[in-house]
Amino acid sequence: MLKAQFKSTETIDLLDGNSISYLLIRKYRRSIGLRITKDGLIVNAPILVSKSHVKKIIISKEKWIKSKLNLIKMKIPPFTLRNGHEFNLLGEKFTFKITEGKKKIYLQNNSCFISFDAISKEDKLKEYFIDWLKEYALDFFIKRVNFHSKKNNLFPNKVLLSNAKTKWGSCNNKKEVRLNWRLIQSSTPIIDYVICHELSHLKFMDHSQQFWSLVSEIFPGYKETQKQLKLVGFQLYHLD
């Protein structure tokens, strides 16, 4: 499989007189794809497509791009792992209760109890918590994948965590499903939608009409949940 790609940072003048910078990634693909991440606009384009054509596509999507970029600008308080501060887990808020001692984390009554041997080392404490959260996420994801797999007779060979910056999930030709660990902050329906999306790729590796028909069949009303994910997506990078 050809995987060569070429990256460059570009700037374009918009119709309203403003300009935006974007990352242009050229790779072996058939069409131009636009994606908004917490780092800004990313354009995936075929190797030989001209920059002028890329700019025409961007300008045609100017309203959508600006609305998504405005979401990024929304101020999200920086994540701090301290006593009394909160984080989201499966759509619910949990409060940190931190003490010094033997390493341990457990949940009880919407509180997250953390015992750590050096609580003054904030970077190490955060690393310990994120590692625990990833393990929690993988365990939860596997249970939900098993549930939907048995229900729909769609079985992946593996369920793995992803640390992707632009994707919530993926499925490859080895039938490995990867799910972004940050999703554990969102609600179960959002997680289930991403899982059903990736399980559908076990049957259809594209985004054809047949693919979306299968997604709709195994996750009715997916469009509304898809919208919810787009609204909260940027906030899920709060822990980074």
Q: What is the mean pLDDT of residues 6-22?
A: 84
pTM, rounded to two decimals: 0.77
Percent of the chain having pLDDT more than 70?
95
Domain chopping of the chain, boundaries? 5-73, 86-239
Q: What is the mean pLDDT of residues 39-43?
A: 86
Q: Tokens for 185? A: 């902050």
Closest CA to 233 of 59, 82, 34, 74: 74
DSSP per residue over 191-236, as a string? Answer: HHHHHHHHHHTTT-SS--HHHHHHHHHHSTTHHHHHHHHHHHGGGG
Tell whether the model's pLDDT for residue 223 goes beyond 80.
yes
CA–CA–CA angle 228, 34, 74 (5° rounding)? 50
DSSP per residue over 130-178, as a string? Answer: HHHHHHHHHHHHHHHHHHHHHHHT---SEEEEE--SS-SEEE-TT-EEE
Provide the residue count of the chain: 240
Please give the residue that has the higher pLDDT: either 47 or 231. Answer: 47
DSSP per residue over 35-70, as a string? Answer: EEETTEEEEEEETT--HHHHHHHHHHTHHHHHHHHH
Tell how strand 40-46 and strand 86-89 pair up.
Answer: unpaired
**pLDDT for 114-132, tens place per residue?**
999 998 899 999 999 999 9
Q: What is the mean pLDDT of residues 51-77?
A: 80
- In DSSP terms, 104 is beta-bridged to 115
**pLDDT for 143-173, tens place per residue?**
999 999 999 999 999 999 999 877 899 999 9
> Hey, what CATH class is 86-239 in?
alpha beta
Instruction: Collapse the DSSP code of 77 into the 3-class scheme (helix H, G, I; strand E, B; otherwise coil) and give the result.
Output: coil
Instruction: Collapse the DSSP code of 22 into the 3-class scheme (helix H, G, I; strand E, B; otherwise coil) and give the result.
Output: strand
**pLDDT for 186-222, tens place per residue?**
999 999 999 999 999 999 999 999 999 999 999 999 9
Distance of CA 90 to the CA centre of its chain: 14
Q: Compute CA distances 217 → 162, 179, 231, whole Å.
A: 26, 21, 24
